[in-house]
Amino acid sequence: MTIISVGYFIPSVLVDDGPLETEITLDFYMSLWDLFWYTEIVHIALMAINRFVCIVYPPYYAVFFSRTKTLLILCITYIVGFTINFPTLFPTCYILYNTHYYMPLYADPNTW
pLDDT string in tens for the chain (112-residue length): 556 556 655 655 565 555 555 666 666 777 777 788 888 888 899 999 999 999 999 999 998 889 999 999 989 888 888 887 777 677 666 666 665 665 666 666 566 5
| Strand, helix or coil for residue 40 | helix
Residue length, the chain? 112
Q: What's the rounded Cα separation, in Å, for the pair 33 and 27?
A: 10
pLDDT of residue 1: 54
pLDDT of residue 39: 85
Single pTM value for the model: 0.63
Q: What's the rounded Cα separation, in Å, for the pair 48 and 84?
A: 21
pLDDT of residue 19: 55
Q: What's the rounded Cα separation, in Å, for the pair 67 and 73?
A: 10
- Rounded to the nearest angstrom, the gap between the alpha carbon of residue 25 and the centroid of all alpha carbons in its chain is 18
Q: Residue 96 pairs with which residues in a beta bridge?
A: 105
